[in-house]
Amino acid sequence: MTSAATLGLARFVEAVRRGEGVLAVHALKSDWLGDKREAPRRVADAIAALRADPVLRDTFADALDTLLVGRRHRFLYAETGVLEPTSFSRTLRSRLGSRLLPHVADPGLMRDLFGSTFEREADIDAAQAVPVERWARLFELVLASPALAAGATQCAGECDAAIAMLAARAAGLAVDPDRVRYDHAVRGSEAANEADVLELPAAARHWILVRSQDAQESPKELLRRLAASQEAVETLRAAAPTHGTSLALTHSLHAAHQTLERMRALVLIRAASVDDERAARLAALFVELVAAQRTEHSMRHVFSQVADDVALQITEHASEAGQHYVTDDRPQWWHMLRVAAGAGVIVGAMALLKVLVTKTHLPPLWETLAVCLNYGLGFVVIHLLHFTVATKQPAMTAALLAARLDREDSTPAGAARLADLIVRTVRTQVVAIVGNVALAVPTALLILSAFRAATGQSPVPAPKALHMLEELHPWASWALLHAAIAGVCLFLSGVISGYYDNLCVFGRVGERLAVHPVLLRLLGTARAARLANYIEHNLGALLGNLSFGFMLGGVGFIGFLTGLPIDIRHVAFASANTAYALGTLQEHAPESAAAFAVAGVVAVGVVNVAVSYSLAFATAFRARHVRYERAGLVMRLVLKRLIRRPHDFVWPPRADRP
């Protein structure tokens, strides 16, 4: 095996001598990393060959020296794997442009040679399969060769240039106006101490200059400023759940975090006093740069990195709201039943209003707008009256469960607490649905009876009533697809709600409204303050409800425009519509159609909740990067509870049990 490694190294040296440096690098990569399973052994064989033959080691180092001296490395060190210090939108536009018009490699840039070498996923996987310690041994062998002297000097100079570039970028990111305002809002008087990050460029230049005269010069002062700058960035990132955030600010803080981390890694490489220490740090950086090639030009990665942080803040607010949707005892259970029943009354009226609007035969656009306002304003009224719609809960309770998974320890006791939270969540969801449906149906029948008594006829024509039953058939209609679309809309309304909750905190909406001159003139100081406080704590919920109403009314219109079979089925409205249809048809209602409609209502409710909960949980789970090791135990405990005490999923026990 060592002879094969020797031949591969010899071919690399000869190719470099012929001026075929790029081809030589790609050939060497194929020899070492051609197979992910074989890569660790092949690199080990190459190390053994170099160690056994000092002449081969020196000729290999000389060939590397030729490749290193002829190129600029600073952009590879300073930019690969580090978010661009531009705005989020400019970063996306830049990467989109590189997709539409591919980048032309510059033979004078090490970054382009490195990128072309590791452009395939298989090559990256193979390089990562080699232990970092093995790469470090390879680097140590090569660094010890005197033939690499010119290349090592070139690398050192380029590394210093990269450090200076990163220091300047970190200082530039620190004076972004949004970040400065946010820093003062979070850290108060401590935010005035910004000298560490603003003086990073000067400190970096000073250390580089002094070190060029004294190789033993310690970077202690530079590292102190770096650590202080990193601590400030992490403080701001950690403050987002309580102070809110924005996409631009999150991108800026993410870029600052990566910039400072890379700068620290380069400073430690330059400060290493012995070859083995330097080789270990070089190997770690090499593996990091290789891994970064996966996402170097990926728009999805940029969006994902930043969007996950924003999603975390949105779901953080949702998880706080979710605590109100989990009942612990019987008084809370009865309260949830009452507020859900109150919403059921309003839903019954909203369902009839929708039927009456469609009977007016307005032009499609105006009819859709009227239906959207009916739903949207109805949901807003439900919120203003402190009632609850059951299907709005999954987005909140899913975020709560993900937050608890993130914080809970992986012990049997922690698993038991999570299992109990799941039981209580299911129980609350069940009672809320029951409350909605239990009064939506009698409200619909009561309104129908009153309408008949006043006018002598049903507000729902018989053909329309029969159609309302048919469109809830579980498999002979699109009911379940429409229920799934409703679940998606429920999830999106939860996202909108969390987004505006976050925006209220980040934009200090309440404080700004409290001093708005128009409000002060119209309402006075005390009333303006109360209104501002209400808006600050309820804007997300109000806009989430309004948006969900417009989704309920607008999806069907999109289906009408496109000819696609899309619409929305919501369990509360489906139950009210079934009541109106059966009340209209009475004894003329086909028994099979009535039975299937009732079954359809149940199926619609299950799909509504399942889709909304799945999407919300997946979003919260991913945003938090949760890694919970006891998920299997939690599910076993939940199933055991279902078998032994199934009524706990419907009716709370008399007292909490540990």
CA distances from 381 to 375, 389, 490, 549, 643 (A): 10, 11, 17, 12, 40
Co-location of 40 and 150 in the same domain: yes
Structure-model confidence comparison of residues 634 and 12, the more confident one: 12
Tokens, residue 62:
């000389």
Identify the DSSP state of 585: H
What's the predicted TM-score (pTM) here?
0.73
Co-location of 268 and 382 in the same domain: no
Co-location of 222 and 251 in the same domain: yes
Q: Measured between alpha carbons, how far is 287 from 38 in angstroms, rounded to an integer?
A: 17
Residue 310 lies in a domain: no
Domain extent for 445: 317-649
Backbone angles phi and psi of 587, in degrees to 5: -70, -10
Q: Which of 240, 265, 297 is the last residue of a domain?
A: 297
What average pLDDT does this structure show over 23-34?
Answer: 85
Co-location of 579 and 629 in the same domain: yes
Co-location of 252 and 372 in the same domain: no
Q: Which of 297, 329, 350 is the last residue of a domain?
A: 297
Q: Tell me the CA end-to-end span of the chain in Å, nearest whole number.
A: 63
Tokens, residue 431:
């009672």
pLDDT number for residue 90 = 66
CA distances from 10 to 17, 30, 46, 170, 627 (A): 11, 14, 11, 43, 47
Q: Measured between alpha carbons, how far is 66 from 24 in angstroms, rounded to an integer?
A: 12
Residue 480 lies in a domain: yes
Q: Which of 232, 266, 297 is the last residue of a domain?
A: 297
pLDDT number for residue 658 = 44
Residue 302 lies in a domain: no
Mean pLDDT of the chain: 83
What average pLDDT does this structure show over 273-277?
Answer: 82
Q: How many domains does the chain have?
A: 2
DSSP sequence for 388-435:
--GGGHHHHHHHHHHHHHHHS-SSHHHHHHHHHHHHHHHHHHHHHHHH
Whether the predicted pLDDT of 84 surpasses 60: yes
Co-location of 333 and 475 in the same domain: yes
Contact 416, 320 (CB under 8 A): no
Co-location of 412 and 269 in the same domain: no
What's the one-letter identity of residue 219? Answer: P
* Phi-psi region at 524: left, alpha or beta (left = phi > 0; alpha = psi -120 to 50): left
User: Around Cβ 4, how many Cβ atoms within 10 Å?
Assistant: 13
pLDDT number for residue 1 = 42
Q: Which of 219, 415, 445 is nearest to 345 (CA)?
A: 445
What average pLDDT does this structure show over 300-316?
Answer: 61
Q: Measured between alpha carbons, how far is 233 from 235 in angstroms, rounded to an integer?
A: 5
User: Around Cβ 320, how many Cβ atoms within 10 Å?
Assistant: 16
CA distances from 41 to 127, 133, 140, 284, 610 (A): 12, 13, 18, 19, 49
Residue 6 lies in a domain: yes
What average pLDDT does this structure show over 220-241?
Answer: 86
Q: Measured between alpha carbons, how far is 162 from 503 in angstroms, rounded to an integer?
A: 37
CATH of the domain at 484: 1.20.1080.10
pLDDT band of 93, cuts 50, 70, 90 = low
DSSP H or E stretch at residue 134: helix 132-143
Contact 48, 133 (CB under 8 A): no
Cβ contacts of 108 within 8 Å, gap of 6 or more: 70, 71, 72
Residue 305 lies in a domain: no
Q: Which of 325-329, 381-385, 617-621 has the highest mean pLDDT?
A: 381-385
What residues form DSSP beta bridges with 500? none
Q: Measured between alpha carbons, how far is 59 from 71 in angstroms, rounded to an integer?
A: 19
Q: The tokens 């000092």 sit on which residue?
A: 54
- 226, with CB counted inside 10 A (0-12, 13-18, 19+), is buried
Co-location of 123 and 258 in the same domain: yes
State percent of the chain over pLDDT 70.
86
Contact 616, 394 (CB under 8 A): yes
What does the pLDDT look like over 137-196, one tens digit per residue?
Answer: 999 999 888 998 898 899 999 999 999 999 999 998 888 887 888 887 787 766 655 667
- Alpha helices (runs of H) in 293-363, residue ranges in sequence order: 299-322, 330-359
Tokens, residue 147:
């033939």
Co-location of 221 and 332 in the same domain: no
**What is the three-class DSSP state of 109?**
strand
Co-location of 371 and 441 in the same domain: yes
- 16, with CB counted inside 10 A (0-12, 13-18, 19+), is buried
Identify the DSSP state of 72: B
Q: Average the pLDDT over each of 57-61, 159-163, 302-306 and give the range with the smallest value.
A: 302-306
Whether the predicted pLDDT of 318 surpasses 60: no
Residue 303 lies in a domain: no
Co-location of 185 and 216 in the same domain: yes
Cβ contacts of 337 within 8 Å, gap of 6 or more: 431, 432, 434, 435
Contact 69, 241 (CB under 8 A): no
Tokens, residue 11:
């071919």
pLDDT number for residue 386 = 87
Co-location of 413 and 284 in the same domain: no
User: Around Cβ 224, how many Cβ atoms within 10 Å?
Assistant: 12
Cβ contacts of 417 within 8 Å, gap of 6 or more: 404, 408
Cβ contacts of 601 within 8 Å, gap of 6 or more: 437, 472, 571, 574, 575, 578
